[in-house]
């Protein structure tokens, strides 16, 4: 019996020792809460991030309304001038063709390229006024890209100094877009300057990096309109390359100056683009002008729309007094 009692005591002692050696049960822990991660600079973090001050890293600028007025550009309070009315009409025509249902994988229906046949026809003047018209009358966020590497003029027209921009982003993969974008403090207008000089802008614009950059910038803000101020078609090959990145092309034709043959040659070079529109700039004002003194028309695969493209081409070679002057 003593042996039995000793065996029982030893067994109980062994069990007590085993229990004491076991680590205490872990208390249930709450799932760790991850700190919010800032989104990539390419993409909009939140719909409320619409002002430059809300986007760290983007340089905020203040465009002087008085300077816009002095340069003959659309400015706050300028809602009934002939220029404002013409830009409003042009804008409405472009918006009609910005159908989201027609967007392809790149969603390019919000991209417009402005160019001309030859230098000096006023394409930068139209680009800038079109951008100012969009931000003045519509709930759009506008990105204006100076893609004229040969003769950048957007910053100069706004009274701003040269700055890094598009070419720098394409040449420096580690450069963040927020480091070169310029955001106005009052208007929903963002500028991407042309950037530094490059040996061949055509090669840069034809690169996959350019397509990726433009596509991402176009989707960075909701309701964004992208306007590219491109070089003249007959001066360089860059506009032909850029036309493949956009959905609409607006070609400015100067009244009384541009020969019809040059207009046709430029249109032939832009043949791959399905949506080319013509606008007659510096035309004479008449009391019977249907479109405030300017013609606007559509051109697609050799066929003209709105019944006025032929008029625009014919008018380009006539000797009439210019109704507006090019500012760049």
CA distance 163 to 194: 8
pTM: 0.73
* Three-state DSSP state, 250: strand
Q: How confident is the model at residue 281 (pLDDT cuts 50, 70, 90)?
A: confident
Q: Region 131-160: what's the mean pLDDT?
A: 93
Closest CA to 167 of 131, 189, 192: 192
Query: Over 90: is that where the pLDDT of 326 sits?
Result: no
Question: Which strand (E) or helix (H) includes residue 252?
Answer: strand 248-254
Q: With a cut of 70, say whether residue 47 has pLDDT above it.
A: no
Q: How far apart are CA 220 and CA 187, in angstroms?
A: 17
Q: What is the CATH number of domain 52-247?
A: 3.40.50.300
pLDDT band at 9 (very low <50, low <70, confident <90, very high): low
pLDDT score of 57 more than 90: no
Q: How confident is the model at residue 77 (pLDDT cuts 50, 70, 90)?
A: confident
Q: What angle do CA 319, 322, 328 make, to 5 degrees?
A: 125
**Structure confidence at residue 17 (pLDDT):** 52
Name the pLDDT band for 307 (thresholds 50, 70, 90).
very low
Q: Which residue has the higher pLDDT, 324 or 187?
A: 187
How do residues 81-93 score in pLDDT, each as one tens digit?
Answer: 899 999 999 999 9
> Considering only 66-80, 116-130, 194-208, 311-325, which range has the smallest mean pLDDT?
311-325
CA dihedral 147, 151, 156, 161 (to 10 degrees): 80
Distance CA 245, CA 185 (A): 29
């Amino acid at each position: 019996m003593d042996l039995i009692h000793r065996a029982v005591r030893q067994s109980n002692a062994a069990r007590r020792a085993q229990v004491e050696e076991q680590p205490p049960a872990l208390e249930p822990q709450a799932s760790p809460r991850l700190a919010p991660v800032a989104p990539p600079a390419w993409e909009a973090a939140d719909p409320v991030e619409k002002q430059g001050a809300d986007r760290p890293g983007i340089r905020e600028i203040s465009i002087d309304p008085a300077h816009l007025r002095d340069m003959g550009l659309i400015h706050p309070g300028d809602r009934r001038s002939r220029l404002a009315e013409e830009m409003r009409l042009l804008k409405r025509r472009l918006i009609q063709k910005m159908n989201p249902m027609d967007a392809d994988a790149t969603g390019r229906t919000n991209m417009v390229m402005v160019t001309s046949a030859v230098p000096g026809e006023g394409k930068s003047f139209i680009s800038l006024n079109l951008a100012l018209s969009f931000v003045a009358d519509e709930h759009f966020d506008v990105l204006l890209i100076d893609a004229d590497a040969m003769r950048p003029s957007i910053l100069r027209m706004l009274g701003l100094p040269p700055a890094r921009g598009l070419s720098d982003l394409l040449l420096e993969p580690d450069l963040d877009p927020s480091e070169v974008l310029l955001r106005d403090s009052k208007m929903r207008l963002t500028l991407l300057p042309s950037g530094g000089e490059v040996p061949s802008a055509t090669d840069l614009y034809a690169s996959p990096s350019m397509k990726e950059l433009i596509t991402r910038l176009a989707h960075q803000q909701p309701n964004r309109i992208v306007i590219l101020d491109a070089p003249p078609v007959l001066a360089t090959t860059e506009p032909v390359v850029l036309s493949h990145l956009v959905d609409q092309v607006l070609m400015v034709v100067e009244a009384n100056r541009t020969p019809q043959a040059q207009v046709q040659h430029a249109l032939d070079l832009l043949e791959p683009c399905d949506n080319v529109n013509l606008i007659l700039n510096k035309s004479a004002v008449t009391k019977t002008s249907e479109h405030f003194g300017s013609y606007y028309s559509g051109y697609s695969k050799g066929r003209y729309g709105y019944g006025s493209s032929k008029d625009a081409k014919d008018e380009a070679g006539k000797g009439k007094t210019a109704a507006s002057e090019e500012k760049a």
